């Protein structure tokens, strides 16, 4: 079973406009239409059994609507293979009530994105949300490290370690192998800790737009660097993620499958760990 633990999808009415806006901000290309239907079609071509959508709440007043959309997506998971988490914002009114509702809707987890929400990960508002979500048995997926389109250090490995040491969440996932473009700090603060990493946008090629600023371009991990992180942290705590539509699901799969990892390590990363975490 192959599970893509890190994808994004948008309602058809706003998908094209949203992708163009975010593409301009990140100066990178997208590779599909960014809808549930298109993601499902890509999965069928690539042999992916389940994709987890991670919605980012940028307006706290829309938290409930975004979670309603997530629940609607999950009504057709058996057909599409697409399953959505809920989303939370640090300024969501009555966060406990909304987390209770998320759990009741069966969303299994939430996504937090400190860079897009412009709040540092170790802020008390996030700590309260993560602590209560953990009590409810929810998975908490957090954007880790820098963001390609937003300046600032909103979610560093050191901040994540503070969360781990204070709250001890049982189902915390730090996306992008702990911290995108801050992987040395990820080794220092997060490797070996009780936290999952996902592989999203870490070893794939970064396809910049033709009008991208050359001075802002960066590179992802090479194969040796990625494998080192896997071995330092443990393959049993790594989840495959493509970050579709920002990178190609097929490319991410092929690159991982061709890496100098054992078949057991690949099996854990590609689906076994996610299956266990999701309780499937």
Virtual torsion, Cα 20, 25, 28, 29, nearest 10 deg: 0
Output the pLDDT for position 56.
97
The string of pLDDT tens digits covering residues 124-172 is: 999 999 999 999 999 999 999 999 999 999 999 999 999 999 999 999 9
Residues in a beta bridge with 52: 83
Where does residue 62 rank: exposed (0-12), middle (13-18), buried (19+ CB within 10 A)? middle
CA gap 117, 91 in Å, rounded: 9
Average pLDDT for 89-117: 97
List the CATH number of the domain containing 208.
3.20.20.140
**Domains in the chain: how many in total?**
1
Residues of the domain holding 248: 3-278
Reply yes or no on whether the pLDDT at 32 is more than 90. no
Q: Which residues are within 8 A (CB) of 13 and not within 5 positions of it... i.e. 6 or more apart?
A: none
The string of pLDDT tens digits covering residues 17-28 is: 988 988 898 899
Nearest of 99, 121, 120 to residue 110 by alpha carbon? 99
Reply yes or no on whether the pLDDT at 99 is more than 90. yes
What region does 198 belong to: left with phi over 0, alpha with psi -120 to 50, or beta?
beta
Global confidence as pTM: 0.96
**47 with 4: CB under 8 angstroms?**
no
The pLDDT > 70 percentage for the chain reads 100
């Amino acid at each position: 079973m192959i599970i893509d633990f890190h994808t994004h999808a948008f309602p058809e009415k706003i998908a094209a406009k949203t992708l163009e806006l975010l593409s301009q901000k990140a100066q990178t290309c997208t590779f599909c239409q960014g809808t549930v239907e298109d993601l499902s079609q890509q999965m069928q071509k690539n042999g992916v059994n389940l994709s987890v959508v991670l919605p980012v709440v940028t307006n706290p007043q829309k938290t409930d609507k975004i979670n309603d959309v997530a629940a609607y997506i999950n009504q057709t998971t058996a057909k599409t293979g697409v399953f959505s988490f809920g989303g939370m914002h640090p300024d969501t009114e009555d966060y406990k009530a909304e987390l209770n509702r998320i759990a009741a809707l069966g969303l299994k987890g939430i996504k937090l994105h400190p860079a897009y929400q412009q709040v540092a990960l170790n802020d008390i508002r996030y700590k309260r949300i993560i602590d209560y979500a953990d009590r409810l048995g929810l998975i908490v997926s957090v954007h880790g490290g820098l963001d390609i389109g937003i300046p600032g250090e909103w979610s560093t490995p050191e901040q994540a370690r503070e969360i781990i040491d204070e709250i001890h969440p049982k189902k915390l996932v730090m996306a992008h192998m702990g911290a995108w473009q801050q992987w040395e700090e990820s080794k220092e603060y997060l490797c070996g800790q009780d936290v999952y990493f996902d592989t999203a946008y870490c070893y794939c090629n970064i396809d910049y737009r033709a009008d991208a600023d050359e001075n802002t371009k960066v590179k992802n991990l090479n194969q040796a660097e990625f494998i080192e992180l896997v071995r330092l942290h443990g393959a049993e705590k790594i989840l495959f993620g493509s970050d579709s539509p920002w990178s190609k699901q097929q490319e991410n799969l092929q690159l991982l499958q061709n890496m100098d990892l054992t078949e057991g390590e690949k099996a854990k990363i590609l689906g076994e760990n996610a299956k266990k975490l999701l309780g499937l």
